[in-house]
Amino acid sequence: MISIELQDGTVKRFPREALAAACATNFEFLDAAAEGKELPEPHPLQVALHNAAHREPWHDTFVDLIDNPGPVPDLSEP
């Protein structure tokens, strides 16, 4: 069980399997951003990690684009 304390003082709990689902959703975020498509809805664990009272470095693995920074620039060589 994963427990995340949120900024509002509440606690969200998720089964360990939610890590894989949230990671898969994060890959969908990255793919959609790279393709210029609309971002998918975030997984509930992603939302909880984004709103965590105490951020930890591993949280960023799951919430890379949750704030939608805009299109990813094409940095490939011509």
Q: Is the pTM for the entire model greater than 0.75?
A: no
The confidence score (pLDDT) of residue 53 equals: 92
pLDDT value at position 9? Answer: 94
Chain segment 10-53, per-residue pLDDT in tens: 999 999 999 999 888 888 888 887 788 888 888 999 889 888 99
48-52 long-range Cβ contacts below 8 angstroms, 24+ apart? 48/4, 48/6, 48/12, 48/14, 49/4, 49/22, 51/6, 51/7, 51/8, 52/4, 52/5, 52/6, 52/7
Domain chopping of the chain, boundaries:
2-61
Residue 65: pLDDT above 70?
A: no
Q: How far apart are CA 23 and CA 63, in angstroms?
A: 9
Measure the CA–CA gap between 48 and 63, rounded to whole angstroms. 10
pLDDT for 72 equals 64
Cα 57 to Cα 24: distance, rounded to the nearest angstrom: 18
